[in-house]
Structure 1
């Protein structure tokens, strides 16, 4: 079913960044998916770019409501998404983002990779006390396996030997992977990017994870997606960067698994000691 369009012919939430508060994980995930289908982007934190807020049951007691009121952000019930009317964004929100919003499974070319081969993929989630999330990456060949264990980049080995992949921490709720595609060997076909939760927590306890890709760490995001389907899963495939002929492309994934990081790594051919 196609999303309703506004009078200008575009999707009505294009350029809007919407934060969802309250509800169960499943309810909030469904609303965030609807926002993306309507052309908006789903926020996971109250950032300066948020233009609207959707309240689900219990959302009115969220501690961020005081700040939302002070900013004058538009607050809506979920029914707003049936016939959304997006007014002008408040001045505090800044200009709307021009980045492309991908749904799960969506693909885009990484434009300009020949001239700007270094890309930063950042994963951000709402901060939760006592829950540690680690971003990891794998360089895979034609058979979707690593060539060597050094092709697995994680918190214990945050950079691979050729310097093509490097992890960076952006505070307690964000981590980035810096990928220099020009340094990858010609045998590399895919960079698989995932997140894993340490301990007994699951992604349903965390909520949505937002990923962005930018041409460098200081640039505005070129593309954004919000993998949001995981509930009891402990590992989550976020995205992959892969070769298509002479080009590199990015695919948003959001596939979760109940096993831990060690099992995910073994599945890609990494030798993990028991």
Structure 2
């Protein structure tokens, strides 16, 4: 197995005075890689928006279904996971390499603590490759430059942007990031996306007060968007059925599945 460890820049000492998204998310999904400040803010957000833990779980389960579909049914062997967050169970490389041991995965995050945990906890197959790079979603050129050390951009790549574009507050800049990265990958590549919404039909009414509290007490700042604005990230791509839907219902098992106010989609570059 090739395993590259692109060195992080700057301090790797966590700031435990302010809640951080990766650690709060870890708290919501039942992880242990968080601090008291993360738990306090996370619990307060959950009191404003009680379904937040369900959203976190639904987002993670969507990841599992999407990677299984793309590695299994579509045969893609390269994954660029932008904004990976702290490792939990069934991470991208574990699912992909379980299906195809030679799969190559690059994890991207701008938090050196996240990458330190990833290097410590994530081990891949002998035949595959994993890299962990420190880069910011606001700087897609840096992501592409470093990812090219592990991924072959002449072959299809799954670009995963789960719960990350909501941290790019300017919608046009967020669209620009998606376009820049998708322009760099070939036909047959995929975009996998989740994004919180304030749409009432998706149960998102509580997103705005919850995010207002978050932005006053945690980092980085976040925003929700409408289905129309989220769909615009897929411009020029062909959505895979069932299109842009609540991530909890994207190719979920038959039966009654609660709607999560977090849209999800998988789309292919023609």
TM-score (norm 1): 0.25
- Which structure has more strand as a fraction of its residues? 1
Name the larger-Rg structure. Answer: 1
TM-score (norm 2): 0.25
